Structure 1
Amino acid sequence: MGFSDTGAGSDASRATAERMLAAVAHRGPDGSSWCHHRGMTFAHCALTFVDPDGGRQPFVSASGATALVLNGEIYNHEELRRELRATGARLRTASDTEVLVELYERHGMKVLERVRGMYAFVLHDARTATTVLVRDPMGKKPLYYARVPGGIAFASELTALLRHPDVRATPDVRALAGYLTLQAFCAPDSAVADVRKVRPGSCLEYSGGRLREVEYWRPRLTAEGRPPGRREAAARFEELFRAAVARRVTSTDRRLGVLLSGGLDSSAVAAVAQQLSPHRPVPTFSAGFEAHDFDESAHARAVARHLGTEHHVVRIGGRDLAEVVESEYARADEPLADPSLLPTRIVCRAARSHVRGVLTGDGADELLLGYRYFQAERAIEILLRLMPAPRLEALVRTLVRRLPARSGNLPAAAALGLLARGLRAAPEHRFYLSTAPFGPAELPGLLRPEARAALAGHDPFAEVSRLLDGQPHLTGVQRSQLAVVAHFLRDVILTKTDRGGMRSALELRSPFLDLDLVEYGNALPVSLKLRRFTGKYLLRRVAADWLPGDIVRRTKLGFRAPLAALLREELRPLLLDTLSASALDRGGLFDAGAVRVLADDHLSGRRDTSRKLWALLTYQLWSQALPVHSPSPDCLDLTEEPHRAP
């Protein structure tokens, strides 16, 4: 984190840095430091994986011209270090941070073409009086910023930025509308009007009072040349996947674990990770839900036995989930309406007592069309060629009524039923309209008139349209895939993994989101990802040599929380108190009558409105805690003296 500072590292600057660092102390328990660098104050709290002594941040280049703070890790730092030394560079440490800053001084922003990792970093180049904010291509690490008098302020978490004296905690109503549809405050918006997020794959350059955005990478699904055959594609996919896992495991001497759900994706990651550690079992962690329909722990245990990992099952009941909400959600960085954050937090807390980093299977469903929605989208794409949308909608609803129902997760009937809600929409909108807590048409009835006025001209899908621009020949399935990547992966899933892990200083690494693997997957035709109506075709083919056949063939269950029951039982008192008429009146955003109907319907069992109530509860718990001003005195140990660049 940091901010423009003409005070040359004054006591006031140090006090601001300490306040901001206190808000993110949970992210880095390995020490804190700060420095003033020619008009900028930088601060950092460390969770170290590479050269903990030499790589202390903020880091200043050998020339003294550039200061940098890095959140995350550059996985290919050893390769890049060898290249630097071959050019005559004399490096002082073994850290990835030094490699990054020295490469920047030699190549400028072209360094982004070479680095591979999960990162958000900010640097100040005194040669040009330019501050640059950068976020990795997939958006694995968060980066917030705000304009302040005399410059810019930035932080890895919104809570830290709100402790800067010139950043106001005013809710952004237009961004709230997007949250209620998309489940997250999606970049470049944030929950606060004065604060923005750096987009994934983008850098912001601040100089001379002006801010310029440069997008250096965006997902493209256009294949070039002749598509490979199945055997060739499988061999290349396996090569890149193995390399992706190895990059994350071998870039550090720290022991890493795997979050193992028992599904195909995390099982494949665990298999390769264990192959890379033949003489020592890899720690694996899974959730064991009391609610049977949500529990995959038996599958995870079977995979762990097959691979020979050191397996840990974390038992989770309704009271455990409620405790996370009651103890953490009022202090959450920003509202997120994905209930799977709850079990993620619990498993991550348990994993942190064994390791400081874990691998996950996140990204495989988006890269390789694994969600049931893509199967349904393929069916809709075919059927719309044969019949008009109204007739197809009626057919789907009839089919849904005849398919067996189940209370847990998302079987085919539920996926088809949800998609039917958005059947007449564009393919890139259907996923969100089918899963939205509140569709755009529902918002006027939910918001008070004064809040409703801010919605004029609001388009929750503007960022999706921006990413589709320049890719006019995509199929419906491809347009849907790109839309899911745009927000559900980057703003929901990756926000969940960062927040779920880093609240306990546990770093989550996602091999399926390795840039080389992503670009290869994006260039493949749909038929090599979704074969007939089976998703993740290449992964299933490759993993057949590593995993039991029933795991490879399993239908995806997903990682969710028993939300409907939780709101009716353990969280009922908190729900009624937080969404009471008096509490909503104080917030001034939501119509108390409309919210009361949703709560009464759900608590009485008339209909399941849990997704709507969860989005409202999560937001209200956060907004009621605004503004945040004072740090917890016992959460920051800033013992080092400030050091200034030469």
Structure 2
Amino acid sequence: MCGITGFWNPQRNSERDLRSTLDRMLDVLDHRGPDERGSRLFIDQGLALGHTRLSIIGLDCGHQPISTDDGDYAVTVNGELYNYKRIRTQLACESLECNGKSDSSIALPLYLKYGLAMVEHLRGEFAIVLYDHREQRLILIRDRFGIKPLYYAAGDNGLVWGSEVKSILQHPDVPAKLCPKAAVHQMMQVMVPGSTAFEGVDALQPGHMLVAQLRDGRLEIDTQRWWDFTFPESHDPNPDPAEYVQGVQDRLIDAVATRLEADVPVGCYLSGGIDSCSILGLATTLMQSSVKAFTIAFDSDEYDESNIAKRMAERTGAEQELLRLTEKELYGPAFERATWHAERTFYNTLAVAKWHMSRRVRACNYKAVVTGEGSDELFGGYPFFKRDWLGREGEEAGVFAGAILAEEDQKHAAWQDLCGFTPSWLQPWMLVLQRCSPLLSSDLKDLLNEYDPIAEIADAIDPAAVRGRHRLDISQYTWSKTMLEGQILTWGGDRMDMANSMEARPAFLDHHLAEYATTIPPEVRIRDGVEKWVLREAMVNVLPRELYERKKFAFMAPPAHTDPVKRAAVQEMIDHWLTPERVAEVGFFDHSAVERFIHDAWRETDGTIARRNDILINHMLQLHMLHGQYVEGQPLPAVD
């Protein structure tokens, strides 16, 4: 697990400029790879490749960038390529040697053998940048679900890339400027796939590659999709549930076993949900020894799962590390630092909690954990998936209302045309957009007269992947193409984990398991109203009975409105970041409207509206933090 960055501008070939620029870009990625730093310059071509390394596999033999002996090919890899031993052996049989014994060493030989089709042979979570000097071609590759990040800025001055946007913004050709359209999307939580918070910087989408080809002294850039999370147009009308239960069990065991391989100890994240508990149960059996489990505990019974996590740890004999968090840890300096790492806003302080957890993991001398992300996406685990297929009957919104479920049905023409319905996962964010609109500055209100953010998100979805599909399939697909990558795997995953040099390995997002999950009929994924039924049955002998029978729980941190101490902590941040001067400087909001909104928000008694208010306050605060941190260059505060 590492950080990668670099740039290619054929018009600039000063070694001093190349090296000094690359060093600045690498400096801000030290947290992703504190163990080692490497670079490779192609001076005449104006190309620089940089790498910061977190050593997990091949501790003494994984230096990057990796080059061929003739120097014509070079590659940097961020992530894990799990099938590397088998591939390395196969390549050796064909006299294609790997330069080194780390998992990343298979990338160049695979390219030499298969060209761009090398991606079909990769298993794991990865971002790869490969330069082919003979063909004057640069290739950026991102894994199937976007577990590992990869961003780029392309223009007349060439191409700049990085594992995080902050490294790209260190390049002199990429000014730091927040994008007004992206600000609107962040306020409503849902980004357009492929976009970022910053003007001129894009995200390489999951399952895509970018190819930059040098022709006549200029770069021609093309992106193409090489994999998608695709559901079939029809399912088995008479499914045998037992067959699918066994199929899930076999593939999940293999996925967990694969992700336990490392040259350092591997632990597990453990909440009270069936996903992480399943991972811990399988890991314990596979390792035949005690596993280190890391759990977050909150100071609110309504949001805390730690008691169930504790029982799972006791059942498996895991050594549990319990981290209790209050408002002191969730707001203030840690909130600001998490925002800097996220590079976008987040609606709930779960991101801050995850930052603290990865910090604790490293303090315990662990560099890697296996996690449960992706299970809900594969097996229909979220309540909005059930609503889209089965409706509202028997539904208990509880703490989901206002944040995950809309209390009133919403429709949008673009989504009705695309899907035949407006997915329930999007509807609460449509209500958030409605609530934030009166707070916007006149410039952003004018923007919304011409720009429809809801339609823009719909336009980014491939119609061929949803038309003719089952409603549950459509709901799972559209969520996975937007919120899985843009939220769960960024500020809920990689960015908070790697902030403290810690690698997370989401076993459910193994593509062998994911591709199989798309074939499971809806009535086996959700059976008799029970979400993730097929997974529960596959793990029935792994999970405690109470967890096997438990409904989906909201894994969120307690919002600020839930107690006066948290409100006071948020108000302190408001007093610093949302002053009339700062609000005017950023230009996204009307300060008078914001002031009235916050005054009323602290007096709101309706829980659904109060949760929505908390979301808006978090987003407003963070947009101003991002401006301060990235545009103004304010230093980050220290965290005790």
Q: Contact between 1:419 and 1:430, CA under 8 Å: does it hold in 2?
A: no
- Rounded Cα–Cα distance in structure 2 between residues aligned with 1:336 and 1:631: 18
Q: Distance in 2 between matches of 1:294 and 1:318?
A: 14
Q: Amino acid of the residue matched to residue 497 of structure 2?
A: G
- Tell me, in whole angstroms, the C-alpha distance in 2 between the residues paired with 1:378 and 1:362: 22
Shift of 1:321: 0.8
What is the one-letter code of the residue matched to 2:582?
A
The answer to whether residue 77 in structure 2 is matched with residue 82 in structure 1 is no
How many angstroms apart in 1 are the aligned matches of 2:123 and 2:234? Answer: 23
Aligned CA distance change for structure 1 residues 556 and 9 (closer, same or farther; 3 Å): farther
Q: In 1, Cα distance between the equivalents of 2:191 and 2:405? A: 26
> How far apart, CA to CA, are the structure 1 residues paired with 2:510 and 2:279?
13
What is the one-letter code of the residue matched to 1:272?
L
Name the counterpart of 2:254. Answer: 243
Counterpart among 175, 188, 197 of residue 191 in structure 1: 197
- Aligned pairs for 1:119-158 (under 5 A) are 119-158=126-165
Structure 2 counterpart of 1:205, from 206, 211, 217: 211
Aligned to 1:36: 41
Among residues 531, 550, 557, which one is paired with 1:535 in the alignment?
531
Percent of aligned pairs sharing the same letter: 26
Deviation at 1:247, TM superposition (A): 1.2
Deviation by residue 1:173-231 (Cα, 9 ceiling, x = unmatched): 122222222x2544311111111110111001111321101101112111567465111
In structure 2, the CA distance between the partners of 1:11 and 1:628, relative to structure 1 (3 Å rule), is: farther
Does the 8 Å contact 1:61/1:98 carry over to 2?
no
- 1:273 deviates by 0.8
- Tell whether the 8 Å contact from 1:162 to 1:629 is kept in structure 2 after alignment: no
Q: Which amino acid aligns with 1:451?
A: L
1:360/1:509 contact within 8 Å kept: yes
C-alpha spacing 1:551/1:444, structure 2 compared with 1 (3 Å): closer
1:623 and 2:627 matched: yes
C-alpha distance in 2 between matches for 1:200 and 1:596:
39
Q: Does 1:594 align with 2:598?
A: no
Q: Residue in 2 aligned with 1:573?
A: 572
Contact 2:270 2:295 in 1 (8 A): yes
Task: Please list the CA deviations of residues 550-601 of structure 1 after superposition, one character each: whole Å capped at 9, or x if unmatched.
Answer: 1111112132111223651222111233223222111111122322232111
Against the structure 1 CA distance between its residues 67 and 379, is the aligned structure 2 distance closer, same or farther, given a 3 Å change threshold? same
User: Tell me, what secondary structure is at the counterpart of 2:302?
Assistant: helix
Distance in 2, Cα, partners of 1:435 & 1:192: 21
Question: Which residue number in structure 2 is paired with residue 18 of structure 1?
Answer: 23
Q: Give yes or no for contact 2:387–2:424 (8 Å, CA) kept in 1.
A: no
Match of 1:446 in 2: 439
CA distance in 1: counterparts of 2:339 and 2:518, whole angstroms: 39
1:605 counterpart SS class: coil
Q: What is the match of residue 162 of structure 1?
A: 169
CA contact (8 A) 1:285 1:351 kept: yes
Per-residue CA deviation, residues 144-183 of structure 1 (Å, 9 max, x unaligned), is: 11125542110111111101011011221122222222x2
Q: Judging changes above 3 Å, is the alpha-carbon distance between structure 1 residues 140 and 416 closer, same or farther for their aligned structure 2 residues?
A: closer
Equivalences for residues 15-414 of structure 1 within 5 A: 15-37=20-42, 39=45, 40-181=47-188, 183=189, 185-208=191-214, 209-222=219-232, 226=236, 228-250=239-261, 252-278=262-288, 280-329=289-338, 331-339=340-348, 340-354=350-364, 355-380=366-391, 409-410=399-400
Change (3 A) 1:47 1:366: same
Secondary structure of residue in 2 paired with 1:34: strand
Deviation at 1:85, TM superposition (A): 0.8
Looking at structure 2, the residues matched to 194 and 415 of structure 1 have their Cα atoms a distance apart, in angstroms, of: 30
Which letter does structure 1 place at the counterpart of 2:424?
Answer: R
Q: Distance in 1 between the 2:257 and 2:484 partners?
A: 23
Please say if residues 42 and 58 of structure 1, whose CA atoms lie closer than 8 Å, have aligned partners that are also in contact.
yes
Identify if the C-alpha distance between structure 1 residues 48 and 464 changes in structure 2 by more than 3 Å, giving closer, same or farther.
farther
1:420 equivalent in structure 2: 408
How many Å separate the matches in 2 of 1:630 and 1:178?
24
**CA spacing shift, 1:535–1:604, aligned 2, 3 Å:** same
Q: Distance in 2 between matches of 1:32 and 1:437?
A: 46
Specify the SS of the correspondent of 1:467: coil
Per mean C-alpha deviation after superposition, the further-off stretch among 39-48 and 414-423 is 414-423
How far apart in 2 are the matches of 1:415 and 1:196? 27
TM-score normalized by the length of structure 2: 0.89
Corresponding position of 1:389: none
Aligned residue for 2:463? 469
2:546 to 512, 536, 550: 550
Match of 1:481 in 2: 476
How many Å apart are 1:99 and its aligned residue? 0.5
| Cα distance, 1:460 vs structure 2 | 3.5
- The answer to whether the 8 Å contact 1:352/1:504 transfers is yes
User: Structure 1, residues 527-559: CA drift from partner, whole Å, max 9, x if none?
Assistant: 110112111011100111112111111112132
1:170 to 1:605, Cα distance in 2 relative to 1, 3 A: same
User: How far, CA to CA, are the matches of 2:497 and 2:55 in structure 1?
Assistant: 15
Distance in structure 1 (CA, Å) of the matches to 2:338 and 2:536: 38
Residues 374 and 586 (structure 1), Cα distance of their counterparts in 2 relative to 1, 3 Å cut: same
SS across alignment from 2:271: coil
Tell me which amino acid in the other structure corresponds to 1:486.
Answer: K
Q: Is the 8 A contact 1:290 1:316 kept in 2?
A: yes
Q: For residues 522 and 324 of structure 1, what CA distance do their matches in structure 2 show?
A: 42
Letter paired with 1:89: L
> In the alignment, which residue of structure 2 is the partner of 1:493?
488
Conservation of the 8 A alpha-carbon contact between 2:384 and 2:424: no
Task: Quote how far apart the aligned CAs of 1:258 are.
Answer: 0.6
* Residues 1:414 and 1:614: Cα distance change in structure 2 (over 3 Å): closer
Does the CA-based 8 Å contact 2:336-2:625 persist in structure 1? no
State the alpha-carbon separation in 2 of the partners of residues 418 and 466 from structure 1.
Answer: 23
Report the aligned-residue RMSD.
2.5
2:603 is the counterpart of 1:610: no
Change in 2 beyond 3 A, CA 1:352/1:200: same
Mark the CA change 1:322 to 1:193 in structure 2 (over 3 Å): closer, same or farther.
same
Given the superposition, is the C-alpha separation of residues 291 and 631 from structure 1 closer, same or farther in structure 2, using an over 3 Å criterion?
A: closer
Q: Is the 8 A contact 1:286 1:313 kept in 2?
A: yes
2:437 and 2:570 map into 1 onto residues whose CA distance is: 27
8 Å Cα contact 1:69/1:121 also seen in 2? yes
**TM-aligned CA distance change 1:428 to 1:69, over 3 Å:** farther
**TM-aligned CA deviation for residue 630 of structure 1:** 10
Query: Once structures 1 and 2 are overlaid, which stretch shifts more, 603-612 or 500-509?
Result: 603-612
Per-residue deviation, 1:418: 1.5
**1:285: how far off?**
0.6
Deviation at 1:376, TM superposition (A): 2.1
Q: How many residues align?
A: 606
Partner of 2:426: 432
